[in-house]
Structure 1
């Protein structure tokens, strides 16, 4: 008891003389007994809490009547009270058996408004600031909110924004708060300069960066906004570009952004050391894991001796080996590449070492930065979950999947130590980007003199759930109309199954004697077989109406002309497809193969009975790294056979401008009185080269194209109809040029093609325009 009295007296003396000093930061300074000493009070007396209430104050204290407390408890209590934001001053003292807590209340915020803002709307600013109506007026919180507003404006290129505050009393203890914003001028990027680059031009390297020079469309793209984190990401993009093109010694020596305050614009200077270009030397796989033979794993490698060195191919090889070893029952197996440089031959030999690795488990997966995409959409791209064995190759595969979704402008996955030495926390940082698009397609038929238009709206990440929705409608001056609606759930019932449906309706008017209407729907399910190979099963039901306009019909004994008599026809089709896709970038491909094979059976009811098979493939290859010239070769073929009495006109293939540019849709093949009959067999081939547009800055993302297409469509009983033209397999061909623009609105393309081999009755369309518009 004597010790306790001495402690109380010491605390009381300090409290009475200094009031127990408090500061705006919530730090209390006490000169009292040592932490080992303790005191007890019988009651807590709260003073000054008129609006908040005494009980609210007591609930935030770590001190309780009848319990021991010391200096640390007083410090903690003061900090808790300040942390509520409701008090501008807190004082704690001891008087007799009472703990006296004296507070000065902050004013309450009645309303928060924003003045002077035009570039960022009120609703977005309201979500940024933490000061809210009915909350306390806190100077520290408001100071932090001012900084948040400045950062938001810096993100859109307005680093010189000025933010101040004004208050207006509305009643006792209540104020309106206004953030007054002077947005200033937008900070621009005048130039991006490279030093030390010899293998690639400044323009080629600039095309790799996310940061772009200011231009006429920068107000839409916002890519000319300087950000230090963005510049670091651009450094990494340069490294990956060089590492994937043979420059294993590449370094970014320095990067800096210099602000010209007079013009309010940045100049970015990046100094690099390219080093030598390497090819792969000897390649091998060694294993120290019992039961795993390294020689048997060499067939999984993406790298080949003599090929240009590529870090991407090494990573793919590591992942392929890791998947195989993990599936064999070794989840902790680790794959490490060991390089052996030969400076005389400029080669790098690579040995992939497979060892058991350390045992580590995933404690949790933490997702950060997603403001729109839901957490589960991100988590489901991982093949591991909490509690599973940690595997770095699995993490790399998940990163590639997330980037391929197109939902994010940046994806970064890192690891942190968990709660135990064998626990790992996986941290996923993402930045959402717009995923909706508005598309416009147009074409002009020289033969018909008609303009055809199509508009579409699609969303790849509907409501942040990862679902795909597309609505499209089109029409032309020839009374043709098309309507389409598609929906896809990429993870049906929680499995990696993309299930969806399509609804469609179209109508057109024949050149001579009928109107045509078609409507129906498709249900489909797609399942991955490997990372690059997928299979799809679908069912389609379709109703087709031929409406005769009363014109004279020649040779009505032919099946085609029987169809033209007024009536409704039905199709019931089961189809199956295989798709192989290794294309590196869907919007701007440089390497890879896209190939598909589809076969269909019609005959589960309906008026069609046939078996149909068709395939197409396209290969991309970089012809010149230095000049960014990309070549592609494409081919397609198809054949249909009747399983019943005859093929109907709508059972056969149609061929036109989508396959052989320069021709109208369904403009090639057998025709009768100007109408397309279709055929049972077709072949097409195409060659194209794309390149940056000369004399146009590469930052504008314009590319030119030259191409040549060829193909034929023939065969079938319908081609034997009296008066039919084009019944043989004569070749059609065209050549042309195009302009491709990866614009802020999406990928836009204009093609002009001239048929160089055609029949007199073919229908041509020399000019074709298409656009996919990002918003």
Structure 2
């Protein structure tokens, strides 16, 4: 460093730093592991694992990554009962060319501990044992470990998380269930005691939504399984988060909680990052059969931030002309009913005739079991006309045909007015309705058209969709 004098008896200390090339980890040697293979240890380590561009080296050395490796090695041994394992500070050797380092890790595994006594119980504020939620037997059965088993920290942590969830779903948001261990190195046994302190019942004081610049608050709040004033429930909050993600309007949805104005109150914060929900597509092509083909589609899945969707689709070619408009409201007048309306006008031109279809459909749905199972009833009114008279789109024209061929064509393509009802059951467990990556979609329906509905055509149609 350099000291530079200044006025008023002050100085400036200037540090000069000379950086050299980044040091890479050439080799990691592990010694002392007798009961866990080196391959298993290396699998949980980051240090020494070269990337695709490392070209044979183990990648650059990072102190934070190495500290994480030590924690992962300890966790691996704890999960196998080695509760007194010790990972010594590494020995670092510089390679002869001074461009890399070699690390040597020394382990002292210690004995493998088995459970001698395991007790899970609930105590009150004064420390007296009380009847746990669901009963002592049910509580004990939630923990899989038993005396004589090898101690496994990850398994015990998972089981205790299930116990905490049980209490949190009942409104005890501040429940404590932390294990206490007492080692007996001579006998290689461990006593595990888990005292549960449920704390007070906690109500949700406030639900705050942040990050939504377009989507209205109510679009997310109506997907919530809990409301302000309800008892806290961990599972219902997780289900609420899943339902908001399934809307497909957000890149990220995060839930967090914080202490409310009193000990028995809690605040729930919802942080969202919105994603674009509108699409505009235009396409054109050429076919030897249909000549020029043009398509256009405009869709908004979150119309004005209300959760409604509106789609307009148009296709035109030498042999067809299709226009379709669809509107969907998932919560009709903020109720559990949904409404969708479809309107369409279609013209198809064949070699000897043309077919026009003008109609629409209205569907009312109801959530039988939210959020996955729905029932719906659709009314469809459609007028079909099959004609041997020359018809044309913007890009093509059909030729006229003898009048004697109209009757079989009309019978084949259901000429006339069709009025039908279609009840359906839908099961939808997709994790995201716009960009699904898991779940399933199943729908079964029966469509009935009859003169009683004013229909010229009569049929019964079964349909399944997955």
Q: 1:332 to 1:510 in 2, by over 3 A?
A: farther
Distance (whole Å) between structure 2 residues aligned to residue 355 and residue 366 of structure 1 = 29
- Contact 2:327 2:341 (8 Å CA) reproduced: yes
Within the candidate set 396, 401, 415, 1:551 is matched to 401
For the 8 Å contact 2:173–2:201, the answer to whether it is kept is: no
Q: Closer, same or farther in 2 for the Cα pair 1:338/1:616, shift >3 Å?
A: farther
Q: Which residue of 1 aligns with 2:419?
A: 572
Shift, 1:332, TM fit? 5.7
Equivalent-residue separation in structure 2 for 1:292 and 1:526 (angstroms): 45
Structure 1 contact 413–427 (Cα < 8 Å) conserved: yes
Partner of 2:268: 426
What is the Cα deviation at residue 382 of structure 1? 0.9
Work out the CA distance in 2 between the residues paired with 1:495 and 1:387: 21
Distance change in 2, residues 1:332/1:579 (3 Å) = farther
Give the superposition deviation at 1:437. Answer: 0.8
Contact 2:223–2:240 at 8 Å: present in 1 too? yes
The answer to whether residue 438 in structure 2 is matched with residue 598 in structure 1 is no
Q: Corresponding residue for 2:242?
A: 400
Partners in 2 of 1:579 and 1:616 — Cα distance?
A: 9
Report deviation, 1:200.
10
Closer/same/farther in 2, CA of residues 582 and 337 from structure 1, 3 Å limit: farther
Q: Which runs of 5+ in 2 are unaligned?
A: 1-45, 54-120, 122-130, 143-157, 180-195, 390-399
The root-mean-square deviation of aligned C-alpha atoms, in Å, is: 4.3
* CA deviation map 1:264-301 (0-9, x unaligned): xxxxxxxxxxxxxxxxxxxxxx9953489969x99xxx
Check if 1:483 corresponds to 2:323: yes
Residues 556 and 466 from structure 1, CA distance in 2 versus in 1: closer, same or farther, beyond 3 angstroms?
A: closer
2:458 aligned with 1:614, yes or no? no
Are the counterparts in 2 of residues 333 and 355 from structure 1 also a CA contact under 8 Å? no
Is 1:510 the equivalent of 2:359?
A: no
1:584-617 CA-partner distances (Å, limit 9, x unpaired): 4566655433322221111111112111111132
SS at match of 1:592: coil
State the distance in 2 between where 1:355 and 1:506 align.
68
With normalisation by structure 1, the TM-score equals 0.34
1:365 positional shift = 1.0
How far is 1:355 from its partner?
11
Residue matched to 1:467:
308
Query: Which residue pairs with 1:498 in the alignment?
Result: 338
**2:221 paired with 1:371:** no
Measure the CA separation in 2 of the matches of 1:200 and 1:593.
36
Aligned to 1:456: 297
For 1:367 and 1:612, how far apart are their aligned partners in 2? 46
Q: Is the 8 A contact 2:176 2:198 kept in 1?
A: no
1:388 to partner: Cα distance: 0.8
User: How many residues are paired up?
Assistant: 298
Give yes or no for contact 1:288–1:356 (8 Å, CA) kept in 2: no
Q: Which structure 2 residues correspond to residues 342-357 of structure 1 after superposition, within 5 A?
A: none
2:360 matches 1:527 = no
Separation in structure 2 between the aligned mates of residue 595 and residue 581 of structure 1, nearest angstrom: 6
SS at match of 1:398: helix
Distance 2:381 2:254 in 1: 44
Q: 1:472 to 1:586 in 2, by over 3 A?
A: same
Find 1:437's aligned residue among 271, 275, 279. 279
Distance 1:591 1:551, change over 3 A: same
The SS at the match of 1:373 is coil
TM-score (norm 2): 0.54
Aligned counterparts of 1:197 and 1:498: Cα–Cα separation in 2: 56
Structure 1 residues 509 and 577, CA gap change in structure 2 (3 angstroms): same
